[in-house]
Amino acid sequence: MKYLYYLLIYLSLISVSFAKNDANILNISEPTKYIAQDFDVLDYSAELEFPVLAEKSLIAVNEVTLRWLTRQDTSKFYFHLRGLNVDSVFYDAVKVQYSKVGDSTSATMHFEVAPPKSNLNDTAKIRIYYSGIMTNEGKLQPWGGVHYDDTLLYALGVGFLNNYVGTTQHWLACYDLPSDKATFHGKFIVPKGNNVAVGGELDSLDKSSDERDIYYYSYNYPPATYLLTFNIGELEELKFDGASVPISVFANPKDTTAARFAFKMVPEMVTYFSETFGPYPFTKVGYVLTKKGSMESQEMINYYKALCWSHYSKKDSSNTTAAHELSHMWFGNSVTPFDYRDAWLNESWATFSEALWMSHFANYSAYLSFLDSKRSLYINNLTKIEGVIPLYDFPRNSATSNYPSTIYMKGAVVVSMLRWKLGDSLFFRGLTGFLKKYKYSNMTSEMLQTLFEQISSKNLDQFFDQWVYNPGWPKINAKVIYRGMDGDNYLGETLILEQTQTEGWGFQKGGYFFDLPIEVTFKQKDGTRHDTVFYLNGDMKTVPLNQEKYYTLEINRGINQKALMETTGIEYLDATSVEESNSIANLHYSIFNKTLFINFVKSTNYELQIFDLLGNAIFNTQSYNSNEIIADLNSYINGVYYFIITANGKVLVKDKLILY
Ligand SMILES: [Zn+2]
């Protein structure tokens, strides 16, 4: 789905509760806690009659075909249903009791059905008869659930501001959690003359009655329940040729002019993504214009109607939102997280896909601009509203939501950094390998990391720890020291890059980010530019510039990549005015590898001596015409020592050193 405008989320602060209120609930998965179940749903076959669209009324029966994976005395089938009344439940054609667990405030409110003791079949067909008036998640910004707007009755499968996330349970009695994907057969009985837009394949259409039409649809590629939708009303189907699968956009006749324009690039999007991610995983591409949206319902995307008109009026056919939702067919729909802690696996990758689309639609510079706009919006605006939250298992209470904008904006830049770290060939091989391996099934962040590690032979613990599992971003202060000028340009001697954040973010919440690519642009007065990516490991790095010419410096605005970072300042310093006492640019002891790193502002001859408390010299190292000393102290026992650093024989610093 596409993020809501974050201001709306901010304005609708609500409090949601994920508290468990019943010991029984422990057996069922929660939105952010996957628990393996005794059953596996294989198929839902639902008969859904919509007598009066405007009333949102529904008369339904859903036949659930399931297989028992294990069968114990306590084994039960669970299903969710909100706002509708269960009339009766049959287990293999025998009427059975059912019980409701939790109330509407509970994140896990559901119904339980125990198999009759006499029935020991491995598979079962459970028929649930239910009816009533369909509702949605409510609250101030109702999104997930069922709506009737502009004569269209439609359903969106997730909500922003509820505590149960999946909202297909507002119209379908089902196990409404993403971990159990099942095929779906829908018999949609609608008032005569209305069209039905859903995913899957249209098996048949019965128009023999004077009062109603019946549409039979089959989803043969098992969707997660939150990816089901229906859209019923006066809808015209627009077909778009040019891709390997049929593409349709369903719109009210009033909106078809705008839709024809706004979606004209979709065939090229389908082709481009199929080449980039692997073959399109389903049989058709559908969009339907709805008043609320956008939502990546499988093969039938609910697309925000006002945005379609905005593209039309601006004559902008890039339509990154169409690309975002289309990319979800791979990220989220074919490959689905087990639970919503991993929502970033959908949204970060779909937003990154928008950037990819911009690189194809326009050029690589548009890709970087797109990412930079997300980076800037994230750091400068979002974090002030949503707080600083991680991509994985973020808090869901106000002022964030089930889909905080952080996972879109920060997430897209983080994915682009993984691309830069691995390089295109490994990144795209990992990406397509991942999508192929977990096609039509479920996955986790760990599985994603493992697959990229296998393909790249690189350990990605640090990358995932600092960017995915922990919050925050590096704040970079740069000092550039010059000695003399050449015409209008300064002659660079040393560049010092320093992480200045103090929030305890970064790798293992130790305060710093590692392997951070910082792209520095040396710009001369005549516009000549030179872009170089430096890698910062830990708090500070000193780089000799070898008389690199520049008039101004830019950071993270280069032509190669975009890092999730903030530039807090660039200082221009004259070397002759930098005091010798400032010669040590950085002195850093790493407990991870028990090593002392010392960087100096300029290159000359340095010596490091270390003494124990009795004054015995235990370590000595020298560097010649260098600006760095690295002392591996692994062979020394932990304890208190003293060290002296000299430059050309002159003492720069004496201090205590604690090895641990
Ligand atoms: Zn999305």
In the reported structure, the alpha carbon of residue 296 is separated from the centroid of ligand 1 by a whole-number distance in angstroms of 7
ipTM over 0.90: yes
Strands 195-197 and 145-149, how do they pair? Answer: unpaired
Helices (H), 382-480: 383-386, 406-422, 424-437, 445-456, 461-464
Counting every residue written for the chain, the total comes to 660
Helices 266-277, 424-437: crossing angle, 10 deg rounding: 90
CA 9/CA 178 separation, integer angstroms: 24
Instruction: Give the residue among 336, 371, 335 at the shortest CA–CA distance from 352.
Output: 371
More confident residue, 597 or 385: 385
Neighbours of ion ligand 1 (CB under 5 A): 1, 347, 350
CA distance 379 to 394: 17
Distance from residue 487's CA to the centre of ligand 1 (Å): 52
Angle at 372 between CA 401 and CA 398, to 5 degrees: 15
Mind listing the pLDDT tens digit for each residue in 584-608?
777 888 777 788 888 887 788 888 9
Q: How far is the CA of 334 from the centre of ligand 1 (A)?
A: 14
> pLDDT tens for residues 291-301?
998 999 999 99
Spacing, Cα 425 to ligand 1 middle (Å): 25
Q: Is the pLDDT of residue 444 over 90?
A: yes
358: number of Cβ within 10 Å:
21
Using CA atoms, how far apart are residues 10 and 508, in angstroms rounded to an integer? 30
C-alpha to C-alpha distances, 146 to 138, 286, 645, nearest whole angstrom: 10, 19, 71
Three-state SS across 413-428?
HHHHHHHHHHCHHHHH
For residue 277, is pLDDT > 80? yes
The domains of the chain, with CATH numbers, are 23-327 (2.60.40.1730), 338-458 (1.10.390.10), 472-578 (2.60.40.1910), 580-660 (2.60.40.3080)
Surface-to-core class of residue 321, CB atoms within 10 Å of its CB (0-12 exposed, 13-18 middle, 19+ buried): buried
Label each residue of 492-536 as H, E or C. Answer: EEEEEEEECCCCCCCHHHCCCCCCEEEEEEEECCCCCEEEEEEEE
301 alpha carbon – ligand 1 mean position (Å)? 11
Gap between the Cα atoms of 58 and 206, Å rounded: 19
Residue 659's pLDDT is 84
Q: How far apart are CA 553 and CA 537, in angstroms?
A: 21
SS (H, E, C) 197-224: ECCCEEEEEECCCCCEEEEEEEECCCCC
Q: Report H helices in 256-405.
A: 256-262, 266-277, 305-314, 320-327, 343-361, 364-377, 383-386
pLDDT value at 25 more than 70: no
Report CA 478 to chain centroid distance, whole Å.
30
> What separation in Å is there between the alpha carbon of 1 and the centre of ligand 1?
3
pLDDT of 570 higher than 90: yes
Q: How confident is the model at residue 123 (pLDDT cuts 50, 70, 90)?
A: very high
Residue 233 near residue 194, CB atoms below 8 Å: yes
pLDDT of residue 501: 94
Element at 543 (helix H, strand E): strand 540-544
Q: pLDDT, tens digit, for every residue of 152-183?
A: 999 999 999 999 999 999 999 999 999 999 99
Centre of ligand 1 from the C-alpha of residue 511, in Å: 31
β-strand 301-304 against 285-290: which pairing, if any?
parallel
